[in-house]
Amino acid sequence: MNFETKCVHAQKDISAACDKTGAISFPIYQSSTFAHPGPGQSTGYDYTRMQNPTREQLENVVAGLENGDECIAFSSGMAAISAVMELFKPGDHVIIDEDLYGGTIRLFQHVNEKNGITFTRVNFSEEDIRPHIGENTRAVFFETPTNPMMNVADIEKISAIAHEHGLLCIVDNTFLSPYLQNPLALGADLVIHSETKYLGGHNDTIAGFVVTKTPDLTEKLRFLIKTTGAALAPFDSWLILRGIKTLAIRIDRMQENTAKIVDWLTKQKAVTRVYYPGLSDHPGHEIMKKQSRGFGSMVTFEVESKEKAIQILNDVDLILYAESLAGTETLITYPLTQTHADVPPEFLEKNGITDRVLRLSVGIEAAEDLIAELDRVINSN
């Protein structure tokens, strides 16, 4: 079955087992606990922190989209990453990409380091990770493309190196979704999604996934979600299930809009740089053509001055000045003070996250309206 069809119909196949009414939309099982038929017996559901039918349905659909062993649904992307980090113990070392979502950097620096895990930051798109692998190294962790600088790493190459050294390869696939990239098929062991983004897709729900490659990893993460408790609620699970039905058409439209906007941005005098891996001169362009089915709808650009950047944020109207990404509405973000506010200045500088950098998440509106708005705010004075 093709991906687009799976997004709509995988949901039906699984619901048949649970629901005899013929309902096309999977029910929301808003129950915290489940009655047992008798001592030592279970319907398969005991308590919603462990599992709930609506969450299970969502997990099955997403595991199918990423072709993983299982998917585990958390109450946010950060809860998913926090649970993954519980796989490590004091003394363990993890190699991470230099450019990551700001919240992930904050978690590593302020929570995991305190608990004795050490990190080495490497630019996965440019440097060899091998010299940084030591006795106590356990994993590599990266995004591709990265948030917000759109650096591209070669998943196949990095996972091969990781496996040669017995390391786990963990990829945050939020920026492309399973529609455009499947890291497990390229060798990764764990895939993370902030499903707040493309999978939910409507800027209305916070949620996160881990998709596992092997039953061994599934078992460890099932234990962790049961024990630490950040499981996704039934209603939120249902919202993501609904979002997934339109995943493919939303992304198709967003990418069409993005291509037009990128083309327009590259021609503006006030725009000094455009970071988009769909551009043929982007250093990651060829790798993305090999490992992804599209370039996504995130574009980062630099304007001529800080004043210009601030003026754009003040003047936008149709485009909303807000954090988050990959929803139906086009959003503009100022990484320096929003998503990456807690990142140390030396990291920001090295990654090129300056006071002139803006990040655009292109939505499903008409491209003409978005370009008219950008023209107004960028070229107004």
Which residues are designated catalytic?
49, 101, 172, 197
Rounded (5°) CA angle 284-66-120: 50
| Binds ligand PLP by CB under 6 A, chosen from 82, 104, 218, 258 | 104
How far are the Cα atoms of 58, 83, 306, 375 from residue 371, in angstroms, in the given order? 36, 41, 21, 6
Contact 139, 168 (CB under 8 A): yes
| Binds ligand PLP by CB under 6 A, chosen from 87, 206, 230, 310 | 206
d(CA 312, CA 285): 28
Q: Which residue is nearest to ligand PLP (CB)?
A: 77
Shortest distance (Å) from residue 106 CB to ligand PLP: 11
Q: How many CB atoms lie within 10 A of CB 373?
A: 18
Footprint of ligand PLP on 108-137 (CB under 6 A): none
C-beta of 121 vs 376, nearer to ligand PLP: 121
Alpha-helical (H) ranges within 215-323 are: 215-228, 234-245, 247-265, 285-291, 306-315
C-beta of 102 vs 187, nearer to ligand PLP: 102
Q: Would strands 190-194 and 137-143 be described as parallel, antiparallel, or unpaired?
A: unpaired
C-beta of 15 vs 82, nearer to ligand PLP: 82
Shortest distance (Å) from residue 145 CB to ligand PLP: 9
C-beta of 78 vs 279, nearer to ligand PLP: 78
What amino acid occupies position 228? T
C-beta of 15 vs 174, nearer to ligand PLP: 174
What amino acid occupies position 377? V
Is 147 a binder of ligand PLP (CB under 6 A)? yes
Q: Which residue has the tokens 């949620």?
A: 207
Q: How many CB atoms lie within 10 A of CB 27?
A: 15
Is 103 a binder of ligand PLP (CB under 6 A)? yes
Distance of CA 61 to the CA centre of its chain: 17
Is 172 a binder of ligand PLP (CB under 6 A)? yes
Shortest distance (Å) from residue 43 CB to ligand PLP: 31
Stretch that binds ligand PLP, among 1-9, 43-51, 169-177, 313-321 (CB under 6 A): 169-177
C-beta of 60 vs 194, nearer to ligand PLP: 194
C-alpha distance across the termini of the chain, in Å: 52
Footprint of ligand PLP on 322-341 (CB under 6 A): none
Is 101 a binder of ligand PLP (CB under 6 A)? yes
β-sheet bridge partners, residue 209: 73, 193
Stretch that binds ligand PLP, among 22-30, 167-175, 238-246, 364-372 (CB under 6 A): 167-175
For residue 149, give the nearest of 284, 311, 309, 341 by alpha carbon. 284
Tell me, what DSSP letter sits at residue 47? Answer: B
Token pair listed for 23: 């309902």
What amino acid occupies position 166? G
d(CA 157, CA 251): 27
d(CA 106, CA 21): 47
Helix, strand, or coil here: 193? strand
Shortest distance (Å) from residue 73 CB to ligand PLP: 11
Footprint of ligand PLP on 49-88 (CB under 6 A): 76-78
Shortest distance (Å) from residue 272 CB to ligand PLP: 24
Shortest distance (Å) from residue 116 CB to ligand PLP: 23
How far are the Cα atoms of 24, 107, 157, 338, 376 from residue 370, in angstroms, in the given order? 35, 35, 37, 22, 10
Helix, strand, or coil here: 303? strand
C-beta of 26 vs 209, nearer to ligand PLP: 209
Footprint of ligand PLP on 180-199 (CB under 6 A): 194, 196-197
- Count, residues near ligand PLP per rule CB under 6 A: 16
Shortest distance (Å) from residue 336 CB to ligand PLP: 16
C-beta of 26 vs 198, nearer to ligand PLP: 198
Which chain residues interact with ligand PLP by CB under 6 A?
76-78, 101, 103-104, 143, 147, 172, 174-175, 194, 196-197, 206, 208
